[in-house]
Amino acid sequence: MRFDHYENETVVDLVEEYEQEISREQTIIAWFCVLSYVLSTVLCIVSLRIFRQYQKLWCLRNVIHFNFILCIAIHNVAWLLALFSNFLETWRCVVTFVLFEVIKFCVTSGFCWMFVEGFYLYMSVMHCLYAYKINYWLCAFVGWGLPLALSGRTLFEFFITQPLEDVMNCAYTDESLDNWSVALIIGIIMINLIILVVIIYVLIAKFRKVEQKEWKTISQLLRALLFLCPLLGISYIFTIYQPQEPLWLAKLVVYYTLVINSTQGIFISVCFCFCNDEVRTSITRSARQTYYSLSVRVHELRRKSLDGSQLTFLGSP
Q: Looking at the structure, do residues 204 and 290 belong to the same domain, yes or no?
A: no
Number of domains, the chain: 2
Q: Looking at the structure, do residues 226 and 143 belong to the same domain, yes or no?
A: yes
Q: Give the chain's mean pLDDT.
A: 77
Interval 296-305: pLDDT, tens: 777 677 666 6
**Predicted local confidence at residue 168, as pLDDT:** 61
137 versus 124: the higher-pLDDT residue is 137
Interval 140-150: pLDDT, tens: 999 999 999 98
Single-letter residue type at 271: C
Longest dimension (CA), the chain: 113
Inform me whether the pLDDT recorded for 163 exceeds 70: no
Q: Looking at the structure, do residues 95 and 152 belong to the same domain, yes or no?
A: yes
Q: Looking at the structure, do residues 139 and 43 belong to the same domain, yes or no?
A: yes
**Predicted local confidence at residue 114, as pLDDT:** 92
Return d(Cα 113, Cα 58) in angstroms, integer.
Answer: 17
Is residue 176 in a domain? yes
Q: Looking at the structure, do residues 99 and 153 belong to the same domain, yes or no?
A: yes
**Predicted local confidence at residue 148, as pLDDT:** 92
Return d(Cα 125, Cα 218) in angstroms, integer.
Answer: 20
Tell me how far apart the terminal alpha carbons of the chain are, to the nearest angstrom.
Answer: 113
Quickly state the pLDDT bin for 218 (edges 50, 70, 90): low
Nearest CA-CA partner of 272 in 97, 93, 46, 102: 46
Q: Are 150 and 180 in contact (CB under 8 A)?
A: yes
54: DSSP letter: -
Inform me whether the pLDDT recorded for 247 exceeds 70: yes
Q: b/e string for 300-315 if b means 16 or more Cβ within 10 A?
A: eeeeeeeeeeeeeeee
Interval 249-264: pLDDT, tens: 888 888 888 888 888 8
Inform me whether the pLDDT recorded for 75 exceeds 90: yes
Is residue 317 in a domain? no
Q: Domain span at residue 302?
A: 282-306
Nearest CA-CA partner of 74 in 125, 147, 8, 135: 147
**Predicted local confidence at residue 89, as pLDDT:** 64
Q: Are 154 and 123 in contact (CB under 8 A)?
A: no
CATH number for position 152 = 1.20.1070.10
Q: Looking at the structure, do residues 240 and 297 belong to the same domain, yes or no?
A: no
